[in-house]
Amino acid sequence: MTEVTQPALTIDALGKKCPIPIIMLAAQINDVPLNGVVAVLADDPAAYTDVPAWCRLKSHRHVGSYELPEGGWAIHVRRNY
Protein backbone atom coordinates (compact mmCIF):
# COMPACT_ATOMS: atom_id res chain seq x y z
CA MET A 1 0.00 0.00 0.00
CA THR A 2 1.80 3.11 -1.20
CA GLU A 3 -0.96 5.70 -0.94
CA VAL A 4 -1.00 6.99 2.61
CA THR A 5 -2.76 10.35 2.71
CA GLN A 6 -3.14 12.56 5.75
CA PRO A 7 -6.85 12.42 6.61
CA ALA A 8 -8.83 15.65 6.38
CA LEU A 9 -11.13 14.29 9.11
CA THR A 10 -10.76 11.59 11.76
CA ILE A 11 -13.87 9.94 13.19
CA ASP A 12 -13.23 8.23 16.53
CA ALA A 13 -15.59 5.26 16.66
CA LEU A 14 -13.38 3.19 18.98
CA GLY A 15 -15.49 1.16 21.40
CA LYS A 16 -18.63 1.58 19.29
CA LYS A 17 -20.35 -1.40 17.70
CA CYS A 18 -21.46 -1.48 14.08
CA PRO A 19 -23.43 0.12 12.56
CA ILE A 20 -22.42 3.20 14.62
CA PRO A 21 -19.05 3.73 12.78
CA ILE A 22 -20.91 3.59 9.43
CA ILE A 23 -23.58 6.01 10.64
CA MET A 24 -20.87 8.41 11.86
CA LEU A 25 -19.04 8.13 8.51
CA ALA A 26 -22.21 8.68 6.48
CA ALA A 27 -23.11 11.73 8.58
CA GLN A 28 -19.66 13.35 8.26
CA ILE A 29 -18.20 12.38 4.87
CA ASN A 30 -19.57 15.55 3.26
CA ASP A 31 -17.60 17.61 5.81
CA VAL A 32 -14.38 16.92 3.87
CA PRO A 33 -13.54 18.37 0.45
CA LEU A 34 -13.98 16.29 -2.70
CA ASN A 35 -11.19 13.67 -2.86
CA GLY A 36 -10.52 14.30 0.83
CA VAL A 37 -9.80 11.34 3.09
CA VAL A 38 -11.77 10.41 6.21
CA ALA A 39 -10.13 8.09 8.74
CA VAL A 40 -12.59 5.99 10.71
CA LEU A 41 -10.99 4.67 13.90
CA ALA A 42 -12.82 1.49 14.84
CA ASP A 43 -12.16 -1.65 16.86
CA ASP A 44 -15.36 -3.57 16.13
CA PRO A 45 -14.31 -6.41 13.78
CA ALA A 46 -17.51 -5.85 11.78
CA ALA A 47 -16.31 -2.34 10.86
CA TYR A 48 -13.22 -3.83 9.19
CA THR A 49 -15.46 -5.35 6.50
CA ASP A 50 -18.52 -3.08 6.78
CA VAL A 51 -16.74 0.22 6.02
CA PRO A 52 -15.19 -1.03 2.74
CA ALA A 53 -18.57 -2.57 1.81
CA TRP A 54 -20.25 0.79 2.50
CA CYS A 55 -17.66 2.44 0.22
CA ARG A 56 -18.58 0.09 -2.63
CA LEU A 57 -22.28 0.64 -2.02
CA LYS A 58 -21.94 4.44 -1.93
CA SER A 59 -19.23 4.74 -4.64
CA HIS A 60 -16.59 6.17 -2.32
CA ARG A 61 -13.08 4.73 -2.32
CA HIS A 62 -11.67 2.50 0.43
CA VAL A 63 -8.04 3.66 0.48
CA GLY A 64 -6.83 1.16 3.05
CA SER A 65 -7.15 -0.18 6.57
CA TYR A 66 -4.21 0.32 8.90
CA GLU A 67 -3.75 -1.41 12.25
CA LEU A 68 -3.64 0.89 15.25
CA PRO A 69 -1.01 0.20 17.93
CA GLU A 70 -3.70 0.25 20.66
CA GLY A 71 -5.90 -2.20 18.70
CA GLY A 72 -8.44 -1.69 15.97
CA TRP A 73 -7.93 0.05 12.65
CA ALA A 74 -7.79 3.40 10.94
CA ILE A 75 -9.99 2.78 7.89
CA HIS A 76 -9.33 5.44 5.24
CA VAL A 77 -12.13 6.46 2.88
CA ARG A 78 -11.71 8.90 -0.02
CA ARG A 79 -14.76 11.04 -0.81
CA ASN A 80 -15.62 10.65 -4.51
CA TYR A 81 -18.59 13.04 -4.81
| 55 is annotated as an active-site residue | no
- If you count them, how many residues does the chain have? 81
Does residue 6 contact residue 56 with C-beta atoms inside 8 Å?
no
At residue 74, what is the residue type? A
Contacts of residue 17, Cβ cutoff 8 Å, sequence gap at least 6: 44, 46
Active-site annotation holder among 18, 25, 38, 63: 18
Catalytic residues: 18
